[in-house]
Amino acid sequence: MAFGGLDKKTNGAPMADINMTPLIDVMLVLLVIFIITAPLFTHAIRLDLPKVASQPARETPQTITLSIDDAGKLFWNDTPVSFDQMRARFADAGQATQKPELHLRASSATRYDVIAQVMGAAQQAGLERIGFVTQPARPQAQAPAR
């Protein structure tokens, strides 16, 4: 008996063991149900979605690549320019309806004041997006372990 018995040998004391048979039966039934229903969850439902006319995709904005070498010389899309010419070109680009992105490439030895002047001129002209182009660091060769 599961809850103690009318047995005279046990003197009416309850059993100390839990009967696991009903629990195992329930778990096996659930396992069978999940095994049967699992393939149904991966079945795709075919839907006829409505077709809507959408707006054309946004065009990628123009980019201006401005490079600065060690001596502070400026290069507008690989063409050398003076600081005044750069300001004039920034002003022209700032007047456009779709403002270009400025990609600023500077040597690691370039003085910061030159970079700050270029960024200030771009901001005054109305260019809002400035990106800094860098090169990833090269992994250094490790010495062999002794």
The DSSP result for 48-61, as a single string, is -PPP---PPPPPPP
Number of domains in the chain: 1
Token pair in block for residue 84: 């005044």
Distance of CA 50 to the CA centre of its chain: 30
Is 88 among the domain residues? yes
Would you say residue 26 has pLDDT above 90? Answer: yes
Q: Is residue 124 part of a domain?
A: yes
Q: Strand pairing of 101-106 and 63-68?
A: parallel
The rounded distance, in Å, linking the Cα atoms of 96 and 125 is 11
The answer to whether residue 113 is domain-embedded is yes
Question: Is the pLDDT score of 130 beyond 50?
Answer: yes
- For residue 31, being part of any structural domain is answered with no
Range of 67's domain?
63-132
| pLDDT for res 106 | 86
Comparison of pLDDT for 114 and 39, the residue scoring more: 114
State the CATH number of the domain containing residue 98: 3.30.420.270
- Which of 99, 144, 105 has its CA nearest to residue 125? 99
Q: Which amino acid is at 50?
A: P
- Whether 144 maps to a domain, the answer reads no
100 inside domain: yes
Distances in Å between the Cα of 107 and the Cα atoms of 73, 103, 104 are: 11, 13, 10
- Predicted confidence at residue 127, as pLDDT, reads 87
Q: Determine, yes or no, domain membership for 19.
A: no
Return the ∠ at Cα 56 (arms to 100 and 102), rounded to 5°: 10
Specify if 139 maps to a domain: no
